[in-house]
Amino acid sequence: MNLKNVLCSTIIIVLTVAVTALVLRFIVFGQTKAVNQSAIDQRITVIVTETERAFILSRMRNMLVGTQLILQASLNKDMPSIVETAQSLGMETIDDAHRKLMDKLPLAFKQLGLSVHRAFDKMALDAKDLGDNQHTLYQLEAILQSCVACHASYKLPTN
């Protein structure tokens, strides 16, 4: 093997290690810290700016309001309202601002969030196709399990 081949192989290995480290750091682990955890609060702190925090909390409040509207519509057997509200909370809400923020979030946080948006999409389809408000209530309960799991696992800093 000549010097040129050795140099090329070395560069490829270094670049592979660097890219792998970046992928792990930003896509898998996100920006988190485990410091300042008390014996009482063991949640993972997700590092975001104040603007990003406000954005995330705003989206969470929208989901909470939507959840209440879906619950009310389910109790009233108002399937069109369920469809409309669930669609408004589905994957269509993932916009460019959301995509940029996703790089900072830990993988499990992203997975929980995306599973909730997908579940709302499925709820809208099922409400339209099945027209079964009881089924919607079971779906809503499963979504809320994801919300509880996320809130139990993560916290956003208040700078």
* Domains observed in the chain: 31-155 (1.20.120)
**Between 66 and 22, whose confidence is greater?**
66
Return the structure tokens found at 136: 């919607």
pLDDT at 72 over 90: yes
Q: What does the pLDDT look like over 132-151, one tens digit per residue? A: 999 999 999 999 999 999 99
Q: Check residue 5 and give its pLDDT.
A: 75
Find the range with the poorest average confidence among 2-6, 69-73, 134-138, 143-147: 2-6
- The residue among 123, 111, 141 whose CA lies nearest residue 85 is 123
Per-residue pLDDT band at 39 (split at 50, 70, 90): low
Residue 35 reports pLDDT greater than 50: no
pLDDT higher than threshold 80 for residue 108: yes
Residue pair 140/74 in contact (Cβ under 8 Å)? The answer is yes
Residue 109 has pLDDT above 80, yes or no: yes
Which pTM does this prediction carry?
A: 0.76
CA–CA dist 70, 78 (Å, integer): 9
SS3 state of residue 46: strand
What is the chain's mean pLDDT, rounded?
Answer: 84
Q: Which helix (H) or strand (E) holds 33?
A: strand 32-33
Residues 6+ apart with CB under 8 A from 19: none
Structure tokens at 1: 């093997």
Q: How large is the average pLDDT for residues 8-23?
A: 63
Q: How confident is the model at residue 40 (pLDDT cuts 50, 70, 90)?
A: confident
Residue 126 has pLDDT above 60, yes or no: yes
Q: Which residues contact 83 (CB under 8 A, 6 or more apart)?
A: 124, 127, 128
